[in-house]
Chain A
Amino acid sequence: MNPVLPTEAIEFAATAAKAFAALGGVDAARRAEEEPARREGEVTAALAAIGAGDLDPRANPDSLAAAAALCETAGTVALPFPLVGTLLRDSQQRPFAVVPEGLWRVDHGDLFPQWRVASLTGGDTIAAANAAPLGSRLGPFVTDLHALDRPTGDPRPLDATPHPDLAIHLTLTAWHILGTTGRALELAVEHVQGRVQFGKPIAAFQSVQFQLADCSVALAGLRELACFTLWRLTAAPDDALTDALALRLHAIDVARTVLRTTQQLHGAAGVCDEYDICVLIRLVQPALRLPWGAERTTEALAEAIARHGFEGLFPHGLASR
């Protein structure tokens, strides 16, 4: 038993953190919102410089762990780039995306001429951007894709076996969410120590401390589950999708409460773009809501458990009946 992420992954994340800091941290995301074209040049160069292109999370557990740590680090700055998708690119450099069955919506979908997409029920389809990004405050770079290799009008996947990269995609996205959420807690800790009201730092108020403590416990649990899921992807590949769905669901739940609490602890500053917390919360929304939000994920997870069971000390699902 060893729950610790490999040292190389931790070191790789530290290198990535330096590179992202050199881009200005969250300022890179602010610049991208002002000038979407900047995503390609500066972020691609930074990723290339740290050797992100050499990672293949499908290849072995170490590469998977390094990819996860990289995604987490990207989450801390809302890196304006489809990192998870490009880590799972195919031999023709097409990034991979998991899409909802209705509309094929992908964050930063406009950045690549072609994508390989799959939905929960299967599929492996080549797709391309259909329109300009949404440009909204909660999903500025979210872009609709359409199928290239079969008639449009029928977005449903052709076959019904889960794509082999689906579980990895969900897992790495959860690591990205973990990064954003962990950073939000750090920002709140800094803020409440510096912010004085009623003659003392608001960190001195016990209700503030309790809120931070609850966030910290929630994040600790999410981190353990994220590490466990990485291990399970290799150790129990047959359960990969169930485990990845469980991680996704928990990541969404934890993010929702931790982001809400940490934003609240910032007072009005929490809704203001000059503060990193606000930008992080806005720009993580696509990861939380695409390809599906909490309730749709819950539904998929319950079905997966019923069919395939769930790891634990006792049997679950059909197998247990």
Chain B
Amino acid sequence: MAIEDLLIDEPGRILLLEGNHAMARAVLEAGVGFSSTYPGTPASEIGDILAKVGPKIPNFYSEYSVNEAVALEGAAGASWAGIRALCTMKHVGLNVASDALHTIAQTGVKGGLVLIMASDAGAYSSQSEQDNRWFSYHTFMPWIEPSTLQEAKDFIVSAFDLSEKYDVPVIVCPSSRICHGMGKIELKPFKKIPEKGKFVSDMTKYANATFFSVEHKKNLLKRIKKLSRNHLKGKLQKEIGFDYNKILEGDSKTGFITTGVSFGYTLEALEQLKIFDVPILRLGLLYPINDNLIIKFIEDRGLEKLIVVEELMPFIENRLKEIFFDAGIKIELHGKDTFPDYHELNIDIVRDHLAKLLNVETPAKIKNIQKIAKKAFTQAPRRDPTWCPGCPHRATFYTLKKVTRDQGVYGCDIGCYAMAIKPPMNMGHWIICMGAGLGVAEGMAHKTDQQVFASIGDSTFFHSGMQGMLNAIYNDSNMTLLVLENKWTSMTGQQPTQTTGLDSHLQPIQPVNIATLAKSMGAKYVRTVDPYNVRSLQTTLIDAMSRKGFKIVVCSRECALQADRTKRKKLSAITRPLPKVIYQIDPERCQKCKECISILGCPAITKGKNEEGEEYYYIETARCTNCGVCYEICPNSAITKTEINLHLEGID
């Protein structure tokens, strides 16, 4: 479906949408006037969609902010001007925004302020797996978890009402499976977005200087208590039009409490075990939790055993233990004594653990399939993700490895270039969090005589590398910083960065020049090179290594995938024959030294067998992006470059 489908104003219409699209749609149904994000998978596409369709929504502003803290602060600004504001990020983004978050929470809102914070149990696209629900305890922010895609959208819309009613920002936390899940979504009516708001000064609310701050916290606690009370009495449900929690009835004395995507896993696992009679309480509002509902759920049904199914840490389970202690309830309780507290859950995991708890067998057929499948899985050669053909990162790390004879210390960071830790490079010696590649290198360089390098992507540089660079310059750390300026935030799907020269909506804007920035911060050794030009990168690195102090080398070359896309789009409009450059391996000259295929490792270079059954290397022309790096590095000059039709112009 086209992204523009999100703008359809037909309440009741059913669309097929991805979770992130459905959540972006909430902007229209909640009358949101401001939205900010820093990209982070699994939530990246929410911001991407809003960047694309945003300009078509009257009175709506959206931006890619430079990092999550700044994104949240901007959203708070819009809220305090009286406009509904949305801020989206991935789970670790909340760490970055955490300082601002704690104080903004106690300050409260004017227009509704909602954060979508996507979790990533299983860390499929993250450096760490963390259970962010604990943030609700120390920020006192209401925490809502949807179980389905429809709920994801509708809960966000309702969260704006909740936020305004109780004067507090609200977090909606979809799991990665919701973000990237797809399903049928029912559209609801639009809400009008006001053209402008107005900030009304109120020192007793917005100024959190010491003498106000405890007061503000006390007031927030009061508001949260009221929310909690209204929730217990069912008043909150009336205010927002529905209940975040729900119960599926059953006669069994064993009950379930679950939340988020674990709800669906529990239902399907029980179906596989042919158990249909257990009562299930699905919690949607996890903070503040509805104590009375839980006590009634147990007492009304005379439950003797309670099973809690939740991903990661025992957040609900621990809270239950507190509730039971206070209410004097004694019940057999299972949760993390049985289920893993790491990785995501799924139907299989829930079923196998439930089978143990409920004394039933996992069907023998399933066990047999698991055994056979595992055998095949271990025999299948890995298919690691690697850099695209022509990726400038490959050229940079290849050259760095050669120049340092693999003897350097290489601090790495997060982005496509993190694939440097995989074969054939094996070069990232640490990956911590955005910006830490450089921060750690700075400190280390003061305490070792090894050649210390740090590599950082341009988006990461602006997110949290600039401060680290200033620190390294100012303290003259003996290290070399490589800024991998590929002009896009590639890892998360090619959002523009401050070097792209395009704004959030891809309109031209003055780009930031990293070399100039470094110089103005006081850096003395600043070089900019094109990594496709292997020789020049080589000389620059050798030169940098021969000098003491802080050195910065900006490796500037556009992301090959994005460059290829733009080129194809441009060329698709041209029908006349176009000039071509073709790189090929001459089998006569090729010594099969493996330099291009294994050490550089471009995936456009592959092996075949000729008629005599002899192995030979060749370049798949359709996949080659003509970066020319293999051509430059082949020690046997076996790679040829053929230029065809050069008298016709039109290609660069």
Partners in one complex: no
Please give the residue numbers on chain A whose beta carbons come within 8 Å of chain B beta carbons, in ascending order: none
Which residues of B pack against A, CB within 8 Å?
none
